[in-house]
Structure 1
Amino acid sequence: MMPSWEKIRRRIRERIPEHCYRMWIEPVALAGTGPGSVTLASPNAFMSRRLETVYLPVIREALAGEGLAGVRVRFTAQAGGRKADQGKAEAAPEPAVVRRQRPVQQPLPGLAVRAAGGRVLKESFTFDRFVRGKHSEFAFYAARAMARDEAGGTGVLYLSGKTGLGKTHLAQAAGQAAAQAGQGARVVYATAEDFTNELVASLKGGTVARFKDRYRTECDFLILEDVHFLTGKEATQKELAAAFDYLLDADKKLVFSGGMGPDDIPGLNDRLRSRLSMGLAAGIGAPDFETRAGILRDKARGLDVPVPGDVVSYIAEEIEGDVRRLESALFSVAAKARFAGLRVDMALARSVVEPMPRRQKRITAGQITDLVCRAFPVTREELVSRSRKQRVVKPRQLAMFLARQYTDLPLKEIGRAFNRYHATVVHAVNAVEKEIRQRGVLYEQAGYLGKQIEQGRTGPGRAA
C-alpha cells in the first residue's frame, strides 16, 4: 500500500532547512503511482528540474523510510495546480498571514494562522510576557504604540540589537496586538531571507503578481526581520522599497528588525536605507541583573517544578548576555530536578550552571583569532592577508562572526582587525549565520568555538 504523501513530506521536512522545505517541497503533489515508480507534480518545469538535481536524494531517502526503497521517482510540471490533491496553484512559500476573520487553524488565542504553512506568531510572544528593563524600555513602548496606532504619525518602527535580546518577541507582540485590535489587521510576518527566496521563486515561476499582492494589497501590518540579510541584494531591496512605499501610502504599519541599524548595514541602496530610517528607531541592549531576574521569574512560573528565589538570583548573577542563555540555564536546572526526582535548590543549580557558559570576561578579536588559528590549519598572518583560498576564507569568516557575537567592537573595528572593510564583515556574518541555519560545514565548528569562548577557554590571545 502506498503511504500518504503527507507522511513522506514530513520525513523530508526533518532533513532539510525549513525555508527550503516551504519553497521546494511544500508545493509538490503526488501525481500518480505505477509499478515501482511514483510521479511527483510541481507548479512549473523549473521547479521540477530543481527537485531532480538537488532534492532527489532526500526524497528517495524519505520514500525508503516508508518502505519504498528503490522506487523510481519521476517529476512533472503541472501548471494547473499547486497540488494534485488540492487543485490550488502556488509556486512560492507564503509568510505567516494572520487574519482574525478567518478562523481556520488557531495556535494563537483569537488569531487564525494560514494553514498551508509559513511562519506563525509565537503564542507566548505578547507584550504582557515581555520583561522590560532600561535596555529595552523604549523599544517596548515604541512597539506597543505601533500596534495601537499611537506612534505619533509614523507608521515605521526599526528594532536593532544583537541576537537573543528580544527583537523578535517585541515584533511579534506588535503583530498579535494589531491583529486582535479593532477589525483585526492582516499581519504578514517573514524574515528578509524569506522575502528574498519568495521573490526569486516568483520570478522563476512566473508568479510575481501574486508575490506583490501578498506584500501589498493583502497586508495591513508587515513585520520583516533580519534586514541585514539584504546586504548586496539589489533586486530584493528594490522590491522591498516599492512594497514599503505602497503600504505607507495606504496608511499601513511596518516593523523591521536587524542586527544593526540601517546606517550600519553596508550594501543597502540609498532609497531603502532612507525609508528604514524614517520612522521610530529603537535599540535593545543586554539586560541588567534586575531584568534578568525578572525574566527568569516569568519563565519559572510556566515550569512544573518550583524554583526558589535564591536559585533565580544565582542564575541571573552567573549567566549574562542574551535571554536565550538565561532560559537555557533555567530549563536545564528544572530538567535535572524532574529527571532525577529532586527538588530545585542551590546545590542542584550549581551542579548544572557551573559547567555552563557563565559570566564572560572581556574577549578581544585577537583572542578569537588565535582560537580560530588553533582550530584550523591556518595562521594569523593568513587570516589578515588578501588570500581567497577556501581554507583561509572559511576560518576568516568564522572569526569575524565570533568577533561580532562575543565582542562589543563595531563593525569597522572588526574589519580593521582582519584588514577588511566593514561590508566584508557583514557578508561574513551573514554567510556563517546561513551555514548555521542550514547546518552547513561551519555549523559544528561555530558551536564548538562559541562554547570555548563562553567557558573562557580562549587563551591569553594577542591584541587585535
Structure 2
Amino acid sequence: MMTTAWNQILNSLEKSLNPGLYTVWIKPLSGEVDGNRVRLKAPNEFVANWVRDRLLRAVREAARQVLDREPEIEITVKASTTTKVARTAKKVAPKQPVARQAGLPIMQMPKTSAVNWRFSFDDFVVGPGNELACAASKSMCSNGMHSDHLFLSSSPGLGKTHLLHSIGRELCLHSNRNRVNVACLSAEQFANRLVMAIRANTISQFKTQFREHVDVLLLEDIHFFQGKEKMQNELLGTLNALRERGCKVVLTSPFLPRELKGIDRQLVSRFCSGFLANIDRPDLETRRLIVQQKARKMQVDVPVEVSELLAERITSDIRQLESCLNNLVLKARLLNRAVSMELAWEVLENYALTNATPDYRHIIEFVCKSYDLSEDQLRSKSRKRQIVLARNTAFYLARRHTELSLKDIGEKLGRKHSTVLKGITNVEREISRQTPLGRQIEQTVERLS
C-alpha cells in the first residue's frame, strides 16, 4: 500500500510538472507513505534542498489528491554507501578521511585544486531562462541526475561556456580523486588533434588519451562535426568508450541535436541519450541582476537607473552586456568621473541598442543597408563574396534575435536548412577566431538596433 500510494503520487507529479523538472528532481527520489506522512529520500543534500525550496508545494498537492487529506512531507538524504564503507573501515583506521563522491572511482586522496577555469557556479546569475540548465549542470557534479551525459544548447552569449567551465571547476574541487583528468576543448580542437595524430601516425595514442585516460569530457560547439564523417566516427567511438567507463560528458552547441545536418544517426542518438537543456534569452530582471553582480565584482558603484538602462537596451547577448559595463567603468575611471546615466548613454552608442527584440523585417533591412545591397540581391543565387557574407550575417542575426527555425529562415531567403546552418557556423567561427573578417562581422552585428 505504501509503495502503491507513492507510485500514484509520482504519476500525478509526472503529469503536472515540466518533463525536465520531473526527470532531474523528482525521479531520483525514493518515497514511502505511512498514513498521511510522506517520507522522501533524496540522493544528496543538493537535490533535497532544491525539492524543499522549489517543488514542495507541487509534491504536497499531488499527495493531497492521492491521500485525500492534508499530507506531512518529510525530505531526508539517503545514507551514502561511501559513508557506510568508511564507518566499517574506522575499526581499522579510525581517522581515515571520507572524500566527497563525484561520480568517479573512489580514491582516498587529497582533492585537487581548480586551475585555469574562467567561470564558476558562484558567479552564474540564475533566471527563468537558464534555471533548468544550471540545475542540470550542478547535478552533474553531485550525482543528482540519473545521467552522466548533458547537452547544453543556446544562442551565442547566453552562458553555455560559463556552465561548462563551472562543471569542470566543481568536479576538480570536490572530486574524490587526487587528480581528475578533465578534457575541456572545442570540437575544432578535438578535430585538429585527431588530424595531427593521423599525420604523425599516433592515432592509437590519441584513442588511448581520450577513451581510457579522460574522466570528464567537456566538448564545445559539436556542430563543427557536420559533414565530417571520419571525425564523427572517432567521436562516436570516444563517446561510447567513455559511457562504458561511466565517465561524464557535457556537450554544447547553438543547435539542438535534431537541428544538425550531415551528422551520423548513431551520433545524433548519442547526443540525445542524456539530458538536453536549452538556455533561453534572459528576462529583464535577470539581465539587471547580471549587471549588478558584475559591478560588485569590479567593486564599483553603479546606480540602479544605470543598471536598468543597460539591461533594457542590450537584451540578447550576456557577453555584450558585460562588455558594455566593462567599457562604462573603464571610461569613468579614465575620465575620473562617477558612473552616470550620461556616461552610460555615451558608451551605449557603440553597442546594439534595442527597445525590443528586432524582428525578421528589421534584420533584413539592417543587413541590406550595412552591406549596400537590395533584398533581391540578398535572395539571389549569386555566390559573390560580399553577398554570401551578407546572407550569412542575416542567417546569424535571424537565428539570434527571432524565434524562427532554421527551416523558416531558409525559406524566407530561398535557401535550404543545411545552407542556413552552414552559414551561421561560418559566421560564428570567424567571430570566435577574431579574424579581420570576424571583427568586421562582429562590428556589423553590434550596430543592429
TM-score, normalised by the number of residues in structure 1: 0.68
In 1, distance between residues paired with 2:108 and 2:188?
Answer: 28
Partner amino acid, structure 1, of 2:151: Y
Contact 1:319–1:358 at 8 Å: present in 2 too?
yes
In 2, distance between residues paired with 1:326 and 1:194?
Answer: 28
Match of 1:209 among 198, 204, 216: 204
How many residue pairs get aligned? The number is 341
Residue 415 of structure 1 and its aligned partner are, at CA, apart by: 0.7
**Alignment pair present for 1:161 and 2:154:** yes
Partner amino acid, structure 2, of 1:240: L
Residue 382 of structure 1 and its aligned partner are, at CA, apart by: 3.7
Which residue in 1 is equivalent to 2:317?
322
Which residue in 2 is equivalent to 1:200?
195
Match of 1:404 among 388, 399, 403: 399
Which residue in 1 is equivalent to 2:233?
238
Partner amino acid, structure 2, of 1:298: Q
Which residue in 1 is equivalent to 2:419?
424
Of the structure 1 ranges 384-393 and 400-409, higher mean CA displacement relative to structure 2 is found in 384-393
In 1, distance between residues paired with 2:314 and 2:235?
Answer: 38
Higher gyration radius (CA): 2
Residue 228 of structure 1 and its aligned partner are, at CA, apart by: 1.4
* Matching of residues 374-389 of structure 1 within 5 Å: 374-376=369-371, 378-389=373-384
Match of 2:166 among 166, 169, 173: 173
Residue 166 of structure 1 and its aligned partner are, at CA, apart by: 0.7
The alpha-carbon distance between structure 1 residues 394 and 452, as it changes in their structure 2 partners (threshold 3 A), is same
Which residue in 1 is equivalent to 2:113?
110
TM-score, normalised by the number of residues in structure 2: 0.70
Regions of 4+ moved over 6 Å: 100-103
Structure 1, unpaired ranges of 5+:
1-99, 104-108, 113-119, 457-464
Residue 290 of structure 1 and its aligned partner are, at CA, apart by: 1.7
Residue 444 of structure 1 and its aligned partner are, at CA, apart by: 4.3
Which residue in 1 is equivalent to 2:117?
121
Contact 1:157–1:281 at 8 Å: present in 2 too?
yes
Of the structure 1 ranges 318-327 and 414-423, higher mean CA displacement relative to structure 2 is found in 318-327
* Matching of residues 192-341 of structure 1 within 5 Å: 192-341=187-336
Which residue in 2 is equivalent to 1:14?
none
Which residue in 2 is equivalent to 1:137?
131
Structure 2, unpaired ranges of 5+:
1-106
* Matching of residues 179-198 of structure 1 within 5 Å: 179-180=172-173, 181-183=175-177, 184-198=179-193
In 1, distance between residues paired with 2:232 and 2:189?
Answer: 13
The alpha-carbon distance between structure 1 residues 147 and 385, as it changes in their structure 2 partners (threshold 3 A), is same
More helix per residue: 2
Residue 397 of structure 1 and its aligned partner are, at CA, apart by: 2.4
In 1, distance between residues paired with 2:391 and 2:281?
Answer: 27
Q: Deviations over 1:95-126 (max 9, x none)?
A: xxxxx9999xxxxx9135xxxxxxx421xx11
**Alignment pair present for 1:437 and 2:428:** no
Contact 2:364–2:375 at 8 Å: present in 1 too?
yes
Contact 1:186–1:221 at 8 Å: present in 2 too?
yes
Tell me the SS of whatever aligns to 2:123: coil
* Matching of residues 17-166 of structure 1 within 5 Å: 110-111=113-114, 120-122=116-118, 125-152=119-146, 154-166=147-159
Partner amino acid, structure 2, of 1:110: S
Partner amino acid, structure 1, of 2:407: K
Partner amino acid, structure 2, of 1:169: H
